Amino acid sequence: MRRVASSGLALSVTAAFIALVFAALVTVGVLIVTGYPPVQTIEQMVTYGSEPDSVVNTINRATTFFLSAIAVAIGFQMKLFNIGVDGQYRLAAFLAAAAGGSAFVAGLPPGLQQLVIIVVAMLVGGVWAGIAGVLKVTRGVSEVISTIMLNFIGGGVISYLLSPGRLAIREGNNLTTRPIGPDGQVPGIPFPDANFAVYGLIVLAIVVGFLYHAGVRRTRFGFDLRATGLSAPAALASGVDVRRMTVAAMLLSGLVAGLVGIPQLLGDAHRFALDFPVGIGFTGIAIALLGRNNALGIALSALLFAFLTESAQILDLNEIPKEIVTITQAVVVLSVVVVYEVVHRFGVRIQRQAVGRQLATAEGGAAA
């Protein structure tokens, strides 16, 4: 009995493993075809990637990736495709940075400043995603369309407001919000032999991960969320208000999305400038897929993606195009989707056979 039930986890791990091996093979193939020595290249990446500074960068990147993927995964639980995480976190980080740099927040006691910044970011992210949720339940607009449109609108809003006289100041060639003072920053966690520190708000990401896991698996809300994703008619008949859940899921996804830029904002950048990172929302989609919406899976996937991105930095120095790594990441996601589907079908078949066998013996025994 136990074997039938627990085969799901084993199959998931197997699938991820197969996908990774496959992606590694493809990468090696690409390296060979383009004329770079595969073994040496990988060695370089591993060596560089395991230097203390790289490890810190990997962890920090993984923290943002993780938050982004959790935001996406909340939507995925309900089969909602929030591809607007990118716009949500950027707008949220921008407005939170602007708030954090304002005279009003600077006047608050330390501790409260960080809290205000975080709450502003979450609210902005939540509102921006919530718009898509409301549009979906009231007007039937697909969240895929509305969130991606909101990305552009968000970008436009940032461009408009990030200009001198509005919410920005000029610093050399760069436009930036007013910097957040030391009382509003979050100190890093020192890492041995590294020149940088690990973002202090990694703690926040871990808390979010636990809340996500417990919320989805152990609460009524999470059950309703998953039920709606698995079968909306069944959820409706069971008493779930599907429309309300849609809005709630988008809101929650947006609240978490709002946090994506915060560890970096409060731990390192202290301001939102034109060079604030873009595209983490899309990376988050890939990581959520790879991690199968599971908090631990997402954490491991985020670390993997962060490591690949970080260790690729060395490639340019050795005149190997670092886009190779982008290929690897893409192949991982593509193959994981395919392999999971294959493995899932295989699992279903095994389970059915197990059920059939069990019943056959039960009936045979009864007859005999």
Partner 1 sequence: MTSGERPVSPGETAVELRGITKRFPGVVANHDVDLTVRRGTVHAVVGENGAGKSTLMKILYGMQAPDEGMIAIDGETVRLGSPAEAIAHGIGMVHQHFMLAGNLTVLENVVLGAEKAHGIGAAARRRIMEISDAYGLDVQPDRLVAEQGVGQLQRVEILKVLYRGARTLILDEPTAVLVPQEVDKLFGNLRELKREGLTVIFISHKLDEVLSVADEITVMRQGTTVASVDPAGTSARELATLMVGGELPVPELRESTVTDTPVLDVRGLTVRTDEGRAVVSDVTFTIHEGEILGIAGVEGNGQAELIEALMGVRQPESGGIRLGERDIASWPTKRRREAGIGYIPEDRHRQGLLLESPLWENRILGHQGEFAPRGVLRLGRARADTRRIVDSYDVRTPGIGVDVDALSGGNQQKLIVGREMSGTPRVLIAAHPTRGVDVGAQAAIWEHLRAARADGLAVLLISADLDELIGMSDTLRVIYRGELVAELDPASVTPEDLGSAMTGARPEAPEAPDSPDRPDRPDGPEAAGGDAGEDTKDA
Contacts with partner 1, residue ranges (CB under 8 A): 1-2, 4-6, 217-224, 226-227, 230-231, 233-234, 236-241, 348, 351-356, 358-359, 362
Neighbours of 157 (CB within 10 A): 17
Least distance from partner 1 to the Cβ atom of residue 352, Å:
4
Least distance from partner 1 to the Cβ atom of residue 20, Å:
25
The values of phi and psi at residue 203, to 5°, are -60, -40
Instruction: Specify the residue, 36 or 223, whose C-beta has the smaller distance to partner 1.
Output: 223
- Buried b / exposed e across 48-79, counting CB within 10 Å, b at 16+? bbeeeebbbbbbbbbbbbbbbbbbbbbbbbbe
Instruction: Specify the residue, 192 or 239, whose C-beta has the smaller distance to partner 1.
Output: 239
Long-range own/partner contacts, residues 344-351 (CB < 8 A, 24 or more apart): 344/11, 346/11, 347/7, 347/8, 347/11, 350/7, 351/4, 351/7
Least distance from partner 1 to the Cβ atom of residue 71, Å:
22
DSSP 14-34: HHHHHHHHHHHHHHHHHHHHT
Instruction: Specify the residue, 166 or 218, whose C-beta has the smaller distance to partner 1.
Output: 218
Quick check: 261 and 276 in contact, CB under 8 A? yes
Least distance from partner 1 to the Cβ atom of residue 350, Å:
10
What distance separates the 2 farthest-apart alpha carbons in the chain?
A: 89
Instruction: Specify the residue, 213 or 322, whose C-beta has the smaller distance to partner 1.
Output: 213
Instruction: Specify the residue, 213 or 226, whose C-beta has the smaller distance to partner 1.
Output: 226
Least distance from partner 1 to the Cβ atom of residue 216, Å:
11
Instruction: Specify the residue, 2 or 139, whose C-beta has the smaller distance to partner 1.
Output: 2
Neighbours of 349 (CB within 10 A): 10
Hey, what are 326's tokens? 């982008």
Q: Any idea what the Cα angle at residue 339 is, between residues 224 and 29, rounded to 5°? A: 140
Instruction: Specify the residue, 109 or 364, whose C-beta has the smaller distance to partner 1.
Output: 364
Least distance from partner 1 to the Cβ atom of residue 1, Å:
4
Least distance from partner 1 to the Cβ atom of residue 252, Å:
15
